[in-house]
Amino acid sequence: MKKRTGFLVKRGATYYARWNVNGKAFQQSTGKKDKRQAQTELDRIMTPFLLQDREKTLEHLKGEIDGTRTALVKIEEERNPPLLLSQAWNAFEKSPNRPDSGERTLWDYAGHLDGFCKWLTEHFKSARTLRDVTPEMAEGYAEHLTGLKLQANSFNKKVQALSLIFRVLSEPGRLTANVWDKIRRKRQVSQSRRELTVEELKRIVEGAKGEMRLLLGIGIYTGLRLGDCSTLRWGEVDLVRRIIRRIPMKTARRKATPVIVPIHGTLLNMLKQLPRNAKSDYVLPEIAATYARDDSAVSKQIQKLFSDNGITTTRDGTGYILVQGEDGKQKKQYTGKRAVVEVGFHSLRHTFVSLCRGADAPLSVVESIVGHSSPAMTQHYSHTGETALRDAVTSLPDITGETVKALPAAVVEDEAATLKAKIKEIAGKLTARNAGKMKTALLTLAG
């Protein structure tokens, strides 16, 4: 660093400014005869040199501070290293900041992260921590997903899951930005399931056997989703009052409000003929077990049942189509486009709503049954409400074509005993003040 000093020298009556720079002397007249004024002039002359010295000093200090900060960061990272990609999922699961997601959603998140990590290992082996992931890597993975020709919904789910994981782990990952936030989401076009005709419903019911037949019956006559139908419990089925009271799985975590669905005569007969399984409280124990292991397995069985009975489940030109081979037999041939499913179990829900509306059931009643009602429409169902619901369901046609079979004597006696017990229970609670309420309860039992 250059050394600069300044001082005054009096020559005659005038003061001169004199200074040294690296041993070389410089001199300049201040033009002042008063020493105080001369000192002020000296300070003015020396100011540019002193500022240069200060700038150099500050630059030197900044360099030392930056070096110290880098050393401290290195020490801190050695003591508490940034989160490794291999540790990311375990950290996300344990994080108190993550959303309270269900097991299936977490399973999906884990799959999305694993898919990204495998791709990263193939293309950027040097990336070991979350902080090593750059915006260019995120863009590269987005291009990879686009190349797989995923539907917009699938693409968006993967990117949104990765964005969520990186956001939750920003602190342990020592992230300064979320590389997924700038990845543009795909525009989604909703693919609604089409409803089935009565003829199609009869066809698939006739082709179904065992528990699958009853599963279809529950779906057709309740409008419940596949998960709710597959895992329906006997405790949610009241054969005496002829209602199913179920909290939908889709909304259970947010709002545990049950839907009440009257049991159609055809479905009632199917349920009454079903022998109770002492080892399970599920109405469909085999299907419930399969759904618990892999819900997609139940969906695949249903899609196969539809296809086997001549119902095309995918949009024309997508997925697999049937073509005639050289041997005259039909075989499956891939169209080259990912299947867009138009018909599935959810079609039964659409059909249920359509049939109810076709029978002039009030929209508010139908919405209450399928659980689409707004908070303003949510209500405690009175006897009048249940009557309206029952009228809507009773209007549905008999899809199975079965004749109502006589119930075994043991079943009749059991139901009679249950009914008598309920009547005695209501009678025991009867007072002058609650007579109206108890009357409603008795009328409800009478159906």
pLDDT digits (tens, 9 = 90+) for 290-301: 998 888 899 999
Tell me which fold the domain 198-303+344-405 belongs to: hpI Integrase; Chain A (1.10.443)
CA 24 – CA 84 distance, rounded (Å): 59
CA 43/CA 10 separation, integer angstroms: 16
Give pTM, 2 decimals.
Answer: 0.54
What is the rounded average pLDDT for all residues in the chain? Answer: 80
* Interior angle at CA 405, CA 400 and CA 406, nearest 5: 160
**In the prediction, which pLDDT does 402 show?**
53
Q: What is the pLDDT of residue 54?
A: 65
Whether residue 53 has pLDDT greater than 80? no
**Burial class for 187, CB neighbours closer than 10 Å (0-12, 13-18, 19+):** exposed
Which residue has better confidence, 114 or 276? 114
Of the given ranges (129-133, 183-187, 414-418, 429-433), which has the lowest mean pLDDT?
Answer: 414-418
Q: Are 237 and 415 in contact (CB under 8 A)?
A: no
Give the model's confidence band at 411: pLDDT under 50 very low, under 70 low, under 90 confident, else very high: very low
- Mean pLDDT, to the nearest integer, of 84-109? 91
The pLDDT of residue 394: 73
367-374 CB contacts, 8 Å cutoff, 24+ apart: 368/259, 368/260, 369/222, 369/223, 369/259, 369/260, 369/261, 369/262, 369/393, 370/223, 370/224, 370/259, 371/248, 371/251, 371/257, 371/259
| Confidence check: pLDDT of 373 > 70 | no
Cβ atoms of 153 and 188 within 8 Å: the answer is yes
pLDDT range class, residue 188, cuts 50, 70, 90 = low
Q: Which position has the higher pLDDT, 376 or 153?
A: 153
CB-based contact 189:152 (threshold 8 Å): yes
- Taking the C-alpha atoms of residue 257 and residue 251, their distance in angstroms, rounded to an integer, is 8
Query: pLDDT digit string (tens) for 382-406?
Result: 333 455 666 667 767 777 665 444 4
Is residue 243 pLDDT above 50, yes or no? yes
